[in-house]
Amino acid sequence: MKKFSTLVLFCIGFLAYSQGPNLSKDYDAVADKIIEWRRDIHKNPELSNREFKTAEKITEHLKSLGIEVQTGVAHTGVVGILKGKKPGKTIALRADIDALPVLERNDLPFKSTVKADYKGEQVPVMHACGHDAHIAILMGVAEVLSKNTDKINGTIKFIFQPAEEGPPPGEEGGALLMVKEGVLKNPDVDAIFGLHIKSQTPVGTIRYKSGGTMAAAQSFTINVKGKQSHGSEPWSGVDPILISAKIIDGLQTIISRETKLTQEAAVITVGKITSGVRFNIIPESAEMIGTIRTLDQGMKEHINRRMNEMVPAIAKAYNGEATIEIRDATEITYNEPALVEQMLPTIKRVAGEANVQSQNAVTGAEDFSYYQKEIPGFFFFLGGMAAGTTESFPHHTPDFRIDDSGLQLGVRVLTEMSLDFLND
């Protein structure tokens, strides 16, 4: 009988552990706070590397919880360090904190009316990508975990990262600079988790992909040199606009005829062409800027090589000259398969198995990839579209909006993932 009782107690204890600690009261305690924080941050957005007030709000909150705080990381970044009652591994949780130069069209009581300097101009500013939600979620996770250090075997780093959308011209920033400044050291981080709210995914849903999940992003600049002439006598000049059109056409054949799209998606987009001053003058030069998106390192290298070969060759065929410069913006956001497999049971337990869905890779990019280049990471997507919604709007648009009811799941998932990883 004594042996049977011991076995029963062991099974009950194991079941309780497999279901995770009961933190329902702590989750309830932050439910209204995370909505309040998110709306206040939404109303007061700040651009990349200029997130001064946002950083102050985060810092004040973390200090109020007794969490060790580092400020001024990668310009305006904030890092909180929470040590558990027992030694163990170190996990990092990341939220991006910058907004975008977008004019908000929503009719919300917390609508942004902020303007700020962007490339020498005063522009409207909006949290048009959901970073305000990411901040509020991670602030909520920090509050819950700070009340449960007895359940933590190890250390948790809360990384509030500036400039995910890219630093201003001439400045460093974002995840790359945070890594450079040692955010994954002292103590060394064993794994990192991050999420992104999605305006077109239903609230309560979590989507993920093992392996390559978001594209490496590169930008490029092409300068074309021709020969200026009167628009009525094109034979007396070399038309850089015509050459630009031929280059654009040629670049698309790299995707349509040389890239194995059944393996992974790839994109080359020319987003801007600048040339000429008058309708009847063939100009001397043209400039094109654009982006490259790839999900496979080998494909990335092939596309880069072919662009460098093709651009000057096409220009030469039309008696002109052209140069191309390709710059890295982000790496491939790569979810370590072993880490995904390890954490999926936790996510399914919290969100419900039917609400956790595998998805295809996307050609959007994330500088979270720079952390994953150094250590194993898992980046997933959190539903932010209200139930019954008939129309939702993409990220980076004036009408972008999310439903606050989706934030609570984000807090619960990141909290439980942290505890399960450290206590495994």
Where in the sequence numbering do the catalytic residues fall? 98, 164
220 φ, ψ (degrees, to nearest 5)? -140, 150
Specify the 3-state DSSP secondary structure of 283: coil
What CA–CA distance (Å, rounded) separates 224 from 242?
Answer: 10
Start-to-end Cα distance in the chain: 31
What CA–CA distance (Å, rounded) separates 198 from 214?
Answer: 14
Residues 6+ apart with CB under 8 A from 295: 212, 214, 215, 216, 264, 265, 266, 332, 361, 363
42 annotated as a binding-site residue? no
What CA–CA distance (Å, rounded) separates 152 from 171?
Answer: 38
129 annotated as a binding-site residue? yes
Q: Tell me which H or E stretch contains 89.
A: strand 86-96
396 annotated as a binding-site residue? yes
Task: Evaluate whether 315 touches 239 at the Cβ level (below 8 Å).
Answer: no
Specify the 3-state DSSP secondary structure of 415: helix
Closest to 224 measured CA to CA, from 244, 250, 198, 201: 244
What CA–CA distance (Å, rounded) separates 344 from 416?
Answer: 11
264 annotated as a binding-site residue? no
Residues 6+ apart with CB under 8 A from 117: 123
216 φ, ψ (degrees, to nearest 5)? -70, 135
134 annotated as a binding-site residue? no
Place of tokens 């390559």: 212
- What sign does the dihedral 316-318-320-324 (CA atoms) show? negative
Closest to 315 measured CA to CA, from 233, 271, 251: 251
Q: Tell me which H or E stretch contains 124.
A: strand 121-124
Distances (CA, A) of 106 to 200, 340, 398, 399: 16, 36, 7, 6
Annotated binding site for Mn(2+): 129, 131, 165, 196, 396
Binding site membership: which residues? Answer: 129, 131, 165, 196, 396
